[in-house]
Structure 1
Amino acid sequence: MRARLTLLVAATTVLVLLAFLVPMALLVRQVAADRALSRADDVVQTIVPLAGDPDALRLALPVQPMPVTVFLPDGSVLGAPASATPAVRLASQRGQALTVDTPLGQELVVPVVGASGTTVVRTVVTSASLSRGVHRAWLTLLGLGVALVLLSLFVADRLARALVAPILSLSSVSHRLASADLTARAVPAGPPELREVAGALNHLAGRIQDLLAAERERVADLSHRLRTPLTALRLEAESLRDPAEAARVSAAADGVARAVTAVIQQARRDAAGPSSVVCDAVAVVADRAAFWAVLAEDTGRAMTQDLPSSPLPVLVAPDDLAAALDALLGNVFAHTPDGTSFSVALSRRPSGGAILVVADEGPGFPPLTAARGESSGGSTGLGLDIARQIAVEFEMGSAPTGGAMVQLSLLSPAGK
């Protein structure tokens, strides 16, 4: 935008200068020619009164500022040597003064009619005399035009910078807001329209901050609302006569409590801004795989694990990674029949980080993938989106065995 504004001002200035300087240059040339002709006419007029006195002509002609030739009635020539031109003969016949263009310049002839005949006074204004000082004047005008263009470019650049700087500031603030920096605010500057935009952007940022704060408060209240029913559920589990059944129900209640706690912690992390929480993907995946292995055994499913032997740090909170893996494995159990085999694989990402792959031998994904919050399988439709949020790359497809496959690429602590 800055370059376009500068170019627009430069083009406008050049057009204005052309409209002004071209006529001025033509006028300068015309004035120079008129001045040279006027000077020649003055010289001729000083000679005309002496046309009848040859002796006076012989004394006056040598001291003139330009060569003058006088053709006497008897055919003799005084002054600068020259032959009678057609203009001289025509002026002698008609008795009229003439100005004629010649290859050398302009020829001025003035006839003087006397008792003994017609005397013709002639002089030539050369082309150099007609254009004397014109080129210098044109160079001056050209220099003036270039100086004005450069000055206009300087002023236009300053004005464009003053106009573009607030726009760049607004862009920077919008990028900061997009990066979850909700404290970013624009400083109103520039024209009134940009000040209005800055105020609207600040109002929008404040409104977003208020809405997110309210949402986090509601999420935080969720833990308190669920404490009483979870406590009652634990008490009911303890009152069961079958110890195995009591342990299973208690474990389920603890799982709900952990899920709620994870939601609260994530909300607090989001409120504090972008985080740099790092976890060992191998430990988290192994822990959740062990949890689901029990349910897989109860439902007759063969579970395959492929995990690295050494720690694999990733830039994801452990609760978020666990929730994502739980969502993917929960989909396997919810959308495939009992006895369907599945696998969990974790490997190092070539550019740093990790790749988590969950695959099964079920019917695979339906032809149409539902949007967030929608599902054709009777679920909330948020399971895949939970996994998608922690991944830098998210891929869905078919496993080699024909079932469904989901692949997550996780960032390394270095952010690559």
Structure 2
Amino acid sequence: MRGLLTRALAWSAALVGVFLVAGAGCLLVWSAADRAASDDRHDVTTVAAVLAVTTDPDAVRGALARTAAGAEGRLAVHLPDGTTIGVGRGAGDLTYMSTVDDSRAAVEVSSPAPLSADLTIQLAVLLLLALLAFVAALLVGRRALNPVLRALRALADAATDLAHRDGNVRIRVTGPPELTALASAINAAADRTERLLAKEREMIADVSHRLRTPLTALRLDADAIGGGPVADRIRSAVTTLGHDVDRIIESLHPVPASSETGDCDVVEVVKTRMGFWSAHAEDQGRPCEVDLPYEPTPVLLSPDALGAVVDALLENVFHHTPPRSALTVAVVRHAGWITLTVEDGGPGIADPERALHRGSSGGGSTGLGLDIARAAAEATGGTIHVERGRLGGARIRLRLGEANSHHEPAVPRAWRLWRGRA
């Protein structure tokens, strides 16, 4: 682009210089020709004045010598007696005039050389000035184009990074309005693409994880069947399907918090989901305690999004704790926050920090359940706390920002880790 703009600027400056030099040169030549014609007329008038007084050859020859045209050999006088004084070329302009004895004499003036020494110098100076103006125009034009070139380079580099290296890069261009508008359009397209990709991955993740709930139910039912070829085939199919779902989850990249809009009552969602999970807890002989307030607990999450959080946390409990481990679910509303707590009597979480990162939680888990819970908490301005509870196992506390509450955002916003007591 730099070379293209430089060539365009050079061609433009050269074209303007050619027109200016051609016009100025024509004016100089016309002015020199007009001045030479005026001088020749003056010389002819001088000679005519002498002829009006005398036709003496010596006097006329002296008058010719005193004129510029005569000194240059371009002036001649043809006397009435046929004598020619000066250099007569026969191709000059003849001017007839009366002499002292009322005879007719002719003065001949030849045209001067097309390029005199003075005119040549003037044209050379004009060409030199045109060349200097051309160089100055290139330098000034390049300087004026530098902001545009810098903006184009920044735009190209950022677009390259956006396309091949980092999808989170955004273009910041200062320069002409057209380039700024182009950068804004590219940023808007990148934001839209990122949102669409995140939404697609999130949808796949949520659907995949929600499959874990019926898979858990199938696994429990398959375990209750007992032995036999049919029961073994069912258990094998459930295991294979579970592995397939795990591979789908592990292939996904972390996604931002859910962008679903809407609101729901935490108590109502927990009641609905616990109707399903309580039955499975009873089948496994798990003590299950649910503590819910009577007051409304609104949060800015859709019922499906919050239901996915509850299912994710409880599925983790059923999948990673022994069958008869106790389970407690509680909801508390206080000071603009809705706290959802899921606690179990299992072995606990050995590495809470690792557990909060998808794909690396260990223990045969993908980490997606806690990642979904964390994303939901962040979407409301809240936090997730991983600690050891009073039942001896893991306690997951989600602080969700209450809808229409003017509380301050929790700090840190993403999550906190509480190792608790052993």
TM-score, structure 2 normalization: 0.48
TM-score, structure 1 normalization: 0.49
